[in-house]
Structure 1
């Protein structure tokens, strides 16, 4: 019966369909059509199939499916982020454990050095104020800044490295203000830069401690730093630094200016390691930079060497008389000591023939030859260092752990030697590098791993 109903529904027009109730009850009679076919009238109830609603359901279902997939992707991404956060939390926990293990693990930077610098700043401001016999508001402002900086140091002692960079910037600003005060009151130098119209050193100022070396380790006690003594155009503000844990000279690093030096942001690092079976390393710590060329003591063979930092080329020249048996008092291998002043390039050394006394040689920069020598009466091992100013050799020795003294001079202009006494303060007992720079009339010292410099006052003639 169901099959017959289905056939009738399919082959008959809609208007001839009987209602299902009438069909089932047999109450509806059929009739014969024009061509003899069976004709039945069927009346469908108002329950037609909701195709439009079905289509809406299908569309909604598809949309829900897309939304579910998006939510699943979000859950996956959140899981990935959660894994990253858990990893970061683990790293943070490890950092906290390191910090809790001891205050020395906060950062390698020495907070005590910051306090020492502030005390030096305060002392320098006091000296400047006394020399000018003035109570200018500028000095009071500097005192206030120093006191505020001391408070910041105390606060930042428990902070991380990024905050310490902030205080370093503030230190640099403060130091520049102090340097400006020095320049304005003209107390430390009364000679024009580049001029030799003075009677030599009158006195040396207090040590100005810039900071620990760029490697942030006091184990790098051997090295040097400073400026180019005859800078190329555009490099007037350039600084350089080189250091190691021993007297081997492995590299030299260049910084575009003082701020970059303090922030440890070099623009060029020159390696002197062995390359292509050729050893370019040096030894000793008395090197200078002149016209973007580093002059230093060659390691093998024992000779003068110059490393051109522009062309990355090297040359060396043996000094036959120079001996490796005589070094300065503080350190071994200080056999060839280079110096640069207003009149050119120099080297000091000792010879066996002179029984270890200092010999001063003038270097011809073009031929790289020692063209003229002067014999002194100073036994090199009793001296701690030496430098040149306007053709005059100044030799130093140790007085005690806090005091150094210039005790001897040799004037090559007059061929005269003399014994003098100009004492100056050391930041720490041990130092290996001391050289004068004619571009700013300062002494640069590498003092047990720290950058230190001195301003000077010359005698009026």
Structure 2
């Protein structure tokens, strides 16, 4: 006769996650007079939901949001001061010019008043300089914290129910957008040199700024690119684009109205590149609402305008398909855009694999001029253009890249430098400079990553960029 059926559930005292994972059945013959007993033990998984990790991310998001509110308040204060002091400087300039023209019309008291006003302006300048340094340090620290948040949230989403993590990810998106807005305001106030080439070159690259995993939520999509239009059409100045795939092929592209929608994966346009338009190489860019990219049949350059949906292609007879970047095959042509226009780099058999820089005429899609460099393309991970200067990048170690070489197309001079910067993941397939915000955009093992650049604005640009060791 079968006796009482009962269940013994071994429950953890902490918050357990998941359904009952294992049932075991057994028969006990030794019950004291109670007959046979059938026991079933229910075991819950040994892993528990890491609520502490989630709470830590939420707390970090709150702290970052508070810091950014303070930074925005500082900038609003400086904006007011700058307006007032700009008016003072104009008035001072007029007063000083009048004093120089007619010194006898002014007494010692007038001169003392003018000196006081000059000192007030000098004090504000010093205050702003300290603020720039302080805010930059704050932003770098916040980017490190946000990167850690990204890693934690991605780990939790892969392991646990995404709906549970969603509320915290919303907090992350909020602080990410706050930081983006704060940096934009800071840049507008303290960096009026966007679009200017009155500098002597790059002197520093920031820590990697990691947005998130690609829009496909697929870590297998290691090939691709993302960024902003380097010459945006009206009303699309805030637009971002993304394309990714599991191989080097370019099969589609998505457009997002702004950074927020990029983070939320909410695209407003999606183009599939059908069989006649599919490209390769992962060295493509968007410029003037046009995709510039490499094709293999025939081997050459292609462009697809998304406004007119017009396709065009060109062949450069001397360009070789044998020489690619070190990271991956088929990166034979590399498009780039800077303050001076559109470029493409490649290697030829005549150059024995050394990189050639070509300036592209955008309306005709033809090559205007070429420059021969001495850097061997298979020894380069990627390259980009800034103000007519080619910068080449190579790997230093498992975590570090280095801008190691430049070539100036204006002077035809070249040299080796060392400006190291950090990668987020081991390999990347796309690295491009955007002149609209002076940032580097990297597609790093499926993640959106970007970098701030610092330039030497301390003196007028000379004919030869300096050798900078950082």
**CA distance 1:356–1:299, change in 2 (3 Å):** same
Aligned to 1:55: none
Q: Give the TM-score taking structure 1 as reference length.
A: 0.67
| Partners of 1:189 and 1:376 in 2: CA distance | 36
Q: Specify the SS of the correspondent of 1:374.
A: strand
Counterpart residue number, 2:328: 331
Q: Which residue number corresponds to residue 311 of structure 2?
A: 314
Give the match for residue 355 of structure 1.
352
Q: Does 1:301 align with 2:302?
A: no
The match for 1:281 is: 278
CA shift at 1:352, angstroms?
Answer: 0.4
Tell me the distance in 2 between the aligned counterparts of 1:154 and 1:444.
Answer: 21
Asked if 1 retains the 8 angstrom alpha-carbon contact of 2:177 and 2:260, the reply is no
Q: Deviations over 1:124-180 (max 9, x none)?
A: 99xx99975769xx99xx89x97xx79x96997686334544333322221233335
2:355 partner SS: strand
Structure 2: 5+ residue runs without aligned partners?
A: 1-17, 22-43, 75-128, 460-470
Q: Distance in 1 between matches of 2:329 and 2:251?
A: 16
Alpha-carbon shift at residue 189 of structure 1 (Å): 8.0
SS at match of 1:284: strand
Shift of 1:223: 0.4
The alignment partner of 2:350 has SS state of coil
Q: 1:223 aligns to what? A: 224
Q: Distance in 2 between matches of 1:155 and 1:428?
A: 15
TM-score, structure 2 length as denominator? 0.66
Does the C-alpha gap of structure 1 residues 134 and 238 become closer, same or farther in structure 2, counting only changes over 3 Å?
closer
Alignment-derived partner of residue 242 in structure 2: 241
Distance 2:45 2:254 in 1: 34
- Check if 1:395 corresponds to 2:396: no
Matches of 2:282 and 2:269, distance apart in 1:
20
Q: Which residue of 1 aligns with 2:370?
A: 373
Pairing partner for 2:379 from 355, 379, 382: 382
The alpha carbon displacement at 1:186 in A equals 5.5
Aligned-partner Cα distance in 2 for 1:326–1:300: 17
Q: Assess, with a 3 A threshold, how the Cα gap between structure 1 residues 448 and 134 changes in structure 2: closer, same or farther.
A: closer
The alignment partner of 2:282 has SS state of coil
Deviations 1:12-59 (A, max 9, x none): xxxxxxxxxxxxxxxxxxxxxxxxxxxxxxxxxxxxxxxxxxxxxxxx
Given the superposition, is the C-alpha separation of residues 328 and 187 from structure 1 closer, same or farther in structure 2, using an over 3 Å criterion? farther
Cα offset, 1:191, TM superposition: 5.5
On the 8 A contact 2:153/2:169 being kept in 1, the answer is no
* 8 A Cα contact 2:212 2:263, kept in partner: yes
CA displacement, residues 65-101 of structure 1 (integer Å, 9 cap, x when unaligned): xxxxxxxxxxxxxxxxxxxxxxxxxxxxxx9689x99
User: What's the counterpart of residue 255 of structure 1?
Assistant: 256
* Equivalent residue number for residue 409 of structure 1: 406
Q: In structure 2, what is the Cα distance between the partners aligned to 1:267 and 1:377?
A: 43
Q: Give distance in 2, aligned partners of 1:295 and 1:160.
A: 40
Structure 2 distance, partners of 1:101, 1:414, is 67
Q: Does residue 1:341 correspond to 2:359, yes or no?
A: no
Whole-angstrom CA distance in 1 between matches of 2:172 and 2:405 = 36
Structure 1 pair 174–248 and aligned structure 2 pair: CA distance change class (3 A): same
How far apart are residue 280 of structure 1 and its match? 1.1
Offset of residue 193 of structure 1 = 1.3
Where do 5+ consecutive residues of structure 1 fail to align?
A: 1-94
Deviations along 1:312-347, one digit per CA (max 9) or x if unpaired, are 221100011111000000010000000001100000
Alpha carbons 1:362, 1:371 under 8 Å: kept:
yes
1:213 and 2:210 correspond: no
In structure 2, the CA distance between the partners of 1:101 and 1:239, relative to structure 1 (3 Å rule), is farther
Q: Secondary structure, in 3 states, of the residue corresponding to 1:285? A: strand
Q: Which moved more, 1:183-192 or 1:218-227?
A: 183-192
| 1:167 pairs with 2:168 | yes
Number of equivalences: 346
- Structure 1 residue 430: deviation in Å? 0.5
CA distance in structure 2 between the partners assigned to 1:254 and 1:271 by the alignment: 12
Q: Distance between the aligned counterparts of 1:155 and 1:357, measured in 2?
A: 42
CA distance in 1, matches of 2:348, 2:154: 53
Instruction: Give 1 or 2 for the bigger CA radius of gyration.
Output: 1
Query: Are residues 101 and 264 of structure 1, via their aligned partners in 2, closer, same or farther at CA, if it must alter by over 3 Å?
Result: farther
Structure 2 CA distance for partners of 1:446 and 1:420, relative to 1, 3 Å: same
**What RMSD over aligned residues (CA atoms) do the two structures have, in Å?**
3.9
CA contact (8 A) 2:357 2:371 kept: yes
